[in-house]
Chains A and B, each alone.
Chain A
């Protein structure tokens, strides 16, 4: 299904969320963003940073920037796929943030990253089976009930799968969003890297994502690493977006629509003017579609 230009109006009507192109806020770019306040449609903020740093210089800049820009909230510690109980106090914080930022949405990853009080600071893949799907449906519904908003679920990059998985990742994501009303935050780079790492066709994978579930995009750079049996694409967010990923983004916009797009650059962060050039590129890609 192609997303026609006429559908954009429908998109605008159906979604109260912030639009356009945004940039992630991190420790490395906070000073420059705070000083320069470049024009951005939105800024992506991690709620975990408010918990980890309740005061201090980064916290102060974060608070100032939240009041200056439209924001979206992107978690990395929800650990949806964990068997440990959800952190209710964290979800209450997200609820409060969403209540104070009407156009914001909250996203986190389809992964697990902790087991009770053990946090692994990484996004780990889940075993995709009927049983784990049932479990994830319950978890996503509980999250949405607590925060009072649909969750945006991001597809992660992964370098391993499991023999006992009985459902492929995209079917799993499709069924999960269909049964919970959650949306997909489609990370184009992750989808591309996974396809390359497991010898699949990225475009075919993208076209299998349920069309009306996608509501936002992530774009980032990934790094090519040499390993024992060949190259692996690592989702390191430390360089510019690859040309193949731009092509896939164009396909995504044509297929799913021009949803809010975030440019992520979190490691080896260059001066802000470099990342802003990448933001301009997103703009020109979207403009091509609109024209």
Chain B
């Protein structure tokens, strides 16, 4: 069965939460006696729902907060809340929707917010970057760090055991894998520097940009810290193939095309095991 009364109450609350008419609620609420009227208590419930939904985003989007400053970040959150298609239970899903919103920001009719947001991004005088690209890069960095941290762990063997497997006579047929949630990406923003200034809560400053794209890896290490590291193009290419389908034999061949001797590729794989980047050799 359905409850028409509960349906009506819930629709009215949702409507009020997104700026709609409150008259039905105001006429039907009996406030606790410390409140002056229904409006006072309703406002508390509505504010609490909004702040509890958005609170986790403060923690997830630390680089973006640093980049645009607290006030603009809060404005952005309010804009997101008004536009959001829903409020999922899991903060990580909400964070994905928030990061998604930034991609459509250029189409937004909220010109004031766009102007304030873009002006908030500090750049070197000679920089010609579209500020939105820097905003999106930092939001994605935050989202990917959070995703790497919260992904279920794949690692079953410690580094020493993985190194032993690398020496095994059938090691060529092992298929290396990365930890779940690991991301390999390229950026024109120095993500390592951006992560560092955010972690240190450094005063806001111009973001370090690069002349050509740099490859990065974002992963959670064995002590559950998220690491952002720059890597060479060759290492990135090799790691892209560490998805449990390519054998070490095929990685050796891949390395060969990048000018690496077999021993150098094995040495690189061994190094990546020690760095907590390769965490499994699937058999």
Instruction: Tell me the A residues contacting B by CB distance below 8 Å.
Output: 48, 51-57, 59-60, 77, 81-83, 112, 114-122, 124, 126-127, 129, 131-132, 134-135, 138, 158-164, 197-199, 225, 227-232
Indicate if the CB atoms of A197 and B29 lie closer than 8 Å. Answer: no
Tell me whether B30 is interfacial, beta carbon within 8 Å.
Answer: yes
How many chain B residues touch A (CB < 8 A): the figure is: 51
Asked if B42 is at the interface of the complex by the 8 Å CB criterion, the answer is yes
Contact (Cβ within 8 A) A55 B150: yes
Quick check: is B237 within 8 A (CB to CB) of the other chain? no
Contact with A along B82-101 (1 / 0, CB 8 A): 00011111111000000000
B224 touching A56 by the CB < 8 A rule? yes
**Do the beta carbons of A119 and B224 come within 8 Å of each other?**
no
A55 to B150, CA, bound (A): 4
Q: For B153, list chain A residues within 8 Å (CB).
A: 55, 60
Q: Could you show 12 A-B contacts with beta carbons less than 8 Å apart?
A: A60-B224, A81-B6, A118-B86, A121-B49, A121-B87, A131-B3, A132-B3, A135-B1, A163-B29, A197-B32, A197-B33, A199-B33
Q: Is B13 an interface residue (CB 8 A)?
A: yes
Task: Select B33's contact among A118, A119, A230, beta carbons within 8 Å.
Answer: A230
Question: C-beta contact mask, B23-55 vs A, less than 8 Å → 1, else 0?
Answer: 000011111111111101110110011001100
**Complex interface: chain B residues within 8 A of A56 (CB):** 149-151, 220, 224
> Top 7 A-B pairs ranked by shortest CB distance?
A228-B36, A232-B34, A121-B52, A117-B86, A197-B32, A135-B3, A120-B49
Q: Is the CB–CB distance between A115 and B11 below 8 Å? A: yes
A160-B42, A199-B33 given; A119·B7 CB < 8 A: no
Tell me which residues across on chain A come within 8 A of B28, comparing CB atoms: 162-164
Contacts of A228 in B (CB 8 A): 35-37, 40
Decide if B14 is an interface residue (CB 8 Å cutoff).
Answer: yes
CB distance A126 to B6 under 8 Å?
yes
19 A-B pairs besides A77-B89, A126-B6 with CB distance below 8 A are A52-B90, A55-B150, A57-B149, A60-B224, A82-B6, A83-B2, A115-B10, A118-B17, A119-B87, A135-B6, A138-B1, A160-B42, A161-B29, A162-B30, A163-B27, A164-B5, A228-B35, A228-B36, A232-B32
Q: Is the interface of A mostly helix, strand, loop or mixed?
A: mixed
**A198 with B32, Cβ < 8 A, contacts A83-B3, A159-B41 known:** yes
Instruction: Say whether, besides A115-B10, A162-B28, A229 and B36 are in contact (CB < 8 Å).
Output: yes
User: Which residue on chain A has the smallest CB distance to residue B18?
Assistant: A118
Kindly state whether residue B9 has any CB partner on chain A within 8 Å. yes
Bound complex: CA A164 to CA B9 (Å): 11
CB distance from B45 to the nearest CB of A (A): 7
Report the separation of the CA atoms of residues A119 and B48 in the bound assembly, to the nearest whole angstrom: 12
